[in-house]
Structure 1
């Protein structure tokens, strides 16, 4: 009886359970899938649950890609640094790109490298092609006066209009240097550029601003190598007795050297009243060659000085000092309208020390081209002898 009653109750409840399931078909599934990530992996609930389970899960997926990029960039840095030039002040930045080197320093790229490339290009452009003969080389000279003397034998190897007395422009600075060096003034004494050093005659510009302070040695270096007029004037102004005493010393030195056709009225060469002759300038070159400081300063290709807490690079006005096939002992260029382009050098050619004087050349690079022609003329000694004899 009991058994029959239990079965009767079970049969009665079964239709009710089926009715509940029919009315709510997702109820069982919802109870089974309580994990929100299984329902929607991108939902906010899923991300919240992940952050509770693991701290490492707090980083979004995008951070992994960013980390990978940073890692690959770091791995790429050694490869990039290997490509940097030797000597290297080119530091590699954190982003992997190289910083630009400081501009204006010699041998460091930037403006310094650009300046050297421009100077090399200008020097190459000034090289004239060889002429068919020594006579043709001589005819091609663009300097109205050309003079070459062997300083050991005093023999004149080449001369064109040598019997002239004319303005010599900044060639005057060789005498300025000779007076300064022979006065034995302290080269480490600081001198200052003042308004008195500003060119009021030709109104030329200068990179040495009023107030610039440099040592006497630096002033001399820039006057000889870069033909800085303010530096040359400051040297004369700071001579014992001032500028008048300095100019008197320049003329006294000229007389002592036997420069009978030479006269100076100021130390820069901006005045057309500073005059000389080719023979006298050969004497000046000989005297200057006996002062090692003038040799070194006049033939330096470039020089750096610190002006107002900034390093500036100055370059030689004679492009030939950068040419390895030239052996130049003394060099000085000059230009004013009255003098034309001028160049004097003491150069060793064919084992001989030769004084080369080129005055009143027309065209900015013509004096360089004429120096190249003069060397080719004197190197061909047989043809030169024939030229001198009138053959």
Structure 2
């Protein structure tokens, strides 16, 4: 049985620095959105095409605070998904991907398998379902793959982003990244937070190479958001 201690997995390049329960199955929560973004990247989508948010996309949790029926460019919704962890934006992206949601989830699992995420299985694109199960080791593979995808990596470097609705009178909406280390100027790149009552606070982040290293940090099962960031920060800087 998992203890109340955080799960920690830290890599420096290919070498493992810290490993505490990193093969323990755990709810990925919104870190799942990195895999969703990779699946979307594999599909030949028009990133400037408009996507309309519908009532079906309103699943609760973190959301892009705009009216149902609003239309945004697909790339804008990807920013909302990765930076703001918006569930409605993420669901809309999967729903309009040209394949059914069941097929989309199938692709998520196939992609995870291709990445070597052997102890992971996914059931929904947002990460809201606690049955999206992974391990810290697998999440390290996931964020490294996401970081190699230029579109995702670029979004991961933005602290704020303004989206404009597609309408006669466009509405502007600014989102701020949930990656607190990026916001406070620490030497990090792409990061993704996750929280469910079942998973507690999860956070994964890659170093920006400023320390001369390509560091990958995964912390899960942290009691508070602040403790997850503090733990990740410690390992980003640790020599």
**Above 0.5 in TM-score?**
yes
Q: Does 1:160 align with 2:17?
A: no
CA distance in 1, matches of 2:66, 2:125: 17
Q: Does 1:320 align with 2:177?
A: no
1:11-30 superposed Cα distances (whole Å, 9 cap, x missing partner):
xxxxxxxxxxxxxxxxxxxx
CA distance in 2, matches of 1:222, 1:213: 13
Give the equivalent residue in structure 2 for 1:371. Answer: 232
How far did 1:185 drift? Answer: 0.7
Query: Do the aligned partners of 2:53 and 2:89 also contact (CA within 8 Å) in 1?
Result: yes
How far did 1:298 drift? Answer: 2.1
Give the equivalent residue in structure 1 for 2:153. Answer: 295
TM-score (norm 1): 0.57
Query: Do the aligned partners of 1:349 and 1:375 also contact (CA within 8 Å) in 2?
Result: no
Aligned residues: 231
CA distance in 1, matches of 2:170, 2:210: 42
Q: Which has the higher contact order (CA 8 A, sep 6+)?
A: 2
- Quick one: structure 1 residues 276 and 193, their matched pair in 2 at CA, closer, same or farther if it must change by over 3 Å? same
Of the candidates 231, 245, 270, which is equivalent to residue 128 of structure 2?
Answer: 270
Task: Mark the runs of 5 or more structure 1 residues left unpaired by the alignment.
Answer: 1-141, 380-391
How far did 1:208 drift? Answer: 3.1
Give the equivalent residue in structure 1 for 2:172. Answer: 311
How far did 1:309 drift? Answer: 2.9
1:73-107 superposed Cα distances (whole Å, 9 cap, x missing partner):
xxxxxxxxxxxxxxxxxxxxxxxxxxxxxxxxxxx
More deviation in 264-273 or 303-312? 303-312
Q: Does 1:253 align with 2:115?
A: no
CA distance in 2, matches of 1:146, 1:288: 19
Give the equivalent residue in structure 1 for 2:89. Answer: 231
Query: Do the aligned partners of 2:83 and 2:155 also contact (CA within 8 Å) in 1?
Result: yes
Structure with higher helix content: 1
Larger Rg, first or second structure (1 or 2): 1
Task: Mark the runs of 5 or more structure 2 residues left unpaired by the alignment.
Answer: none
Give the equivalent residue in structure 2 for 1:334. Answer: 194
Give the equivalent residue in structure 2 for 1:215. Answer: 73
Give the equivalent residue in structure 2 for 1:172. Answer: 32
Q: Equivalent residue of 1:342, what SS?
A: strand
Query: Do the aligned partners of 1:143 and 1:359 also contact (CA within 8 Å) in 2?
Result: no
Of the candidates 61, 82, 100, which is equivalent to residue 204 of structure 1?
Answer: 61
TM-score (norm 2): 0.91
CA distance in 2, matches of 1:193, 1:272: 24
